[in-house]
């Protein structure tokens, strides 16, 4: 790849997508801790942390799937993205495998509300999240949290998709 090359590698795109994931994940953690700063719920346990990671990873993953469809580019990008991110956050192979299973399980649940005509997508997404995060059926007592998580997911997904569209319009991805 030369200085004035019109090509970009999937590895280079993946490096940026990892930053999108980490930024989204970090903002979710900070945002939730801030919303509960005077409550006992302000600490985030390991299982809750994984639920936050899932939201951030699914937002980036969904953007890649929408941008590139079922292609080898998608497989290359998502394979490296998940390998690198999982390895950073989970030291043991079994932990990485379990998180991957959790991610795809939740992706199936979240995908049910991701329809173009769903006007309550952010709240419904957040409701699914809160049900898992608190380990009980959500009773809408965390409406602000539902909206925050749903909007965070949508924002990350949309901005990631815009980035991928911009890269695709200017570079040949190899």
CB 32 within 8 A of CB 52: yes
Average pLDDT over residues 96-103: 95
pLDDT value, residue 4: 62
**The token pair that represents 39 in the structure block:** 């409550």
Q: Which of 106, 70, 101, 67 is nearest to 86 (CA)?
A: 101
pLDDT value, residue 34: 73
Domain annotation covers residue 146: yes
pLDDT value, residue 40: 57
Q: Which residue has the tokens 């970009």?
A: 8
Domain annotation covers residue 2: no
Judged against a pLDDT cut of 60, whether residue 130 lies above it is answered with: yes
Give percent of the chain with pLDDT exceeding 70: 91
Domain annotation covers residue 77: yes
Domain annotation covers residue 1: no
Average pLDDT over residues 122-140: 86
Q: Which of 144, 113, 119 is nearest to 130 (CA)?
A: 144
Tell whether the torsion through CA atoms of 108, 28, 153 and 77 is positive or negative. negative
pLDDT value, residue 45: 87
> What number of other Cβ atoms are within 10 A of residue 17's Cβ?
25
Judged against a pLDDT cut of 50, whether residue 1 lies above it is answered with: no
d(CA 53, CA 58): 8
Range of the domain at 138: 7-173
**The token pair that represents 120 in the structure block:** 């309550």
- State pLDDT tens for residues 18-73: 999 999 999 998 887 777 655 555 678 899 999 999 999 999 999 999 999 999 99
Domain annotation covers residue 17: yes
Domain annotation covers residue 112: yes
- State pLDDT tens for residues 78-89: 999 999 999 999
Q: Which of 140, 139, 164, 10 is nearest to 80 (CA)?
A: 10
Domain annotation covers residue 71: yes
Q: Mean pLDDT of all residues in the chain?
A: 89
Domain annotation covers residue 16: yes
Domain count, the chain: 1
């Amino acid at each position: 790849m030369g200085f004035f090359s019109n090509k970009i590698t999937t590895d280079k795109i993946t490096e940026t997508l990892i930053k999108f994931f980490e930024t989204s994940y970090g903002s979710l953690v900070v945002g939730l801790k801030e919303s509960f700063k005077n409550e006992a719920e302000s600490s985030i346990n390991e299982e809750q942390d994984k639920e936050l990671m899932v939201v951030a990873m699914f937002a980036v993953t969904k953007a890649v799937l929408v941008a590139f469809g079922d292609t080898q580019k998608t497989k290359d990008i998502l394979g490296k993205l998940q390998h690198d991110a999982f390895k950073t956050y989970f030291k043991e192979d079994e932990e990485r495998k379990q998180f991957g299973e959790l991610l795809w399980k939740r992706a199936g649940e979240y995908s049910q509300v991701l329809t173009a005509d769903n006007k309550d997508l952010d709240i419904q997404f957040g409701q699914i999240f809160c049900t898992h995060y608190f380990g009980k059926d959500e009773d809408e007592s965390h409406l602000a949290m539902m909206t925050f998580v749903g909007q965070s997911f949508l924002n990350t997904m949309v901005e990631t998709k815009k980035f991928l569209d911009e890269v695709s319009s200017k570079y040949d991805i190899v």
